[in-house]
Chains A and B, each alone.
Chain A
C-alpha cells in the first residue's frame, strides 16, 4: 500500500506571492498523480492530473511537476480564491491514496 505524505501541513503566504506544495509517495507512482483543491464546505475540485496536466478551466498560475516519488504543485501568484486545502492523490495502483493535505492560508 502506497503512503502519500504532503508538506508542509500549513503554508502561510501573502497574496501575490508564490506557493510551492510538496507531495511524496512511499514508492514510485510514475506520473499517476493528481492534485485537488478544497474550500470549506465544498467538494474537492480537480486541479492537475498526470502530475503536470491542468484540468479544464484551471488557471495557468497552477502548475505541477514531478514523477516517481516526488511531486510539487506551484501557484505562481496567489489570488484570494486560492486560499484552501490542497490534496495529492496517487492513482497508479490499488488502493488509491490521498495525502494528508496542505492548508494554504493568508499570511
Chain B
C-alpha cells in the first residue's frame, strides 16, 4: 500500500525553527517528485515546495523562499522540510504529497497525500 506519514509538527514561538519529516512506503520513492502543501486553519490549500526525484531540483512559493528548505534522503525514503524564522502566518497543517508522474521538470498532480502534521506558531 502506498503511504505517506508526516511527523515533526509542534507548537513554536515566532522566529523559531522546526523540521518536518515524511516517511514514504509502497512505491519507488526516488522516481517521484515530492511536495509540501499547507492548509491554515479554516482556509484553502497552499503549495509550499517541490523537490525532484533525485533531489537536484527544488521549487518554493514566494511566501517561504529563503526560510524553508526542502530535501530528501532516498536511502531512507524520507522527505524533509526545514522551516526557519517561523511567522504566525505559517500556522497550518503541513501535508506531504507525491506527484503522480515520474519525475520531470514540470509540476504534476498529487496522487497520494499524507495525513498532515500541525505546526502552530504563537507566542
Contacts and interface: CB of A to CB of B under 8 A. Distances in A.
Interface of A: 34, 36, 38, 42-46, 49-50, 55, 87, 89, 91-101
Contacts, number: 62
B44 A98 contact: yes
Interface string B75-118: 00000000000000000000100001000001111111111100
Interface of B: 37, 44-47, 50, 59, 61-62, 95, 100, 106-116
A55 B111 contact: yes
A93 B95 contact: no
A44 B113 contact: yes
Majority secondary structure of chain B interface residues (helix, strand, loop or mixed):
strand
11 contacts: A34-B110, A36-B110, A46-B109, A46-B110, A87-B44, A91-B107, A91-B108, A95-B62, A96-B47, A98-B37, A101-B44
A101 B47 CA distance: 14
A35 to B, nearest CB: 9
Contact of A34 (B61, B95, B109): B109
Given A34-B109, A91-B109, A46 B100 contact: yes
B106 A91 contact: yes
Contact of B107 (A46, A93, A99, A101): A93
Contacts of A94: 59, 106-107
A45 B116 CA distance: 13
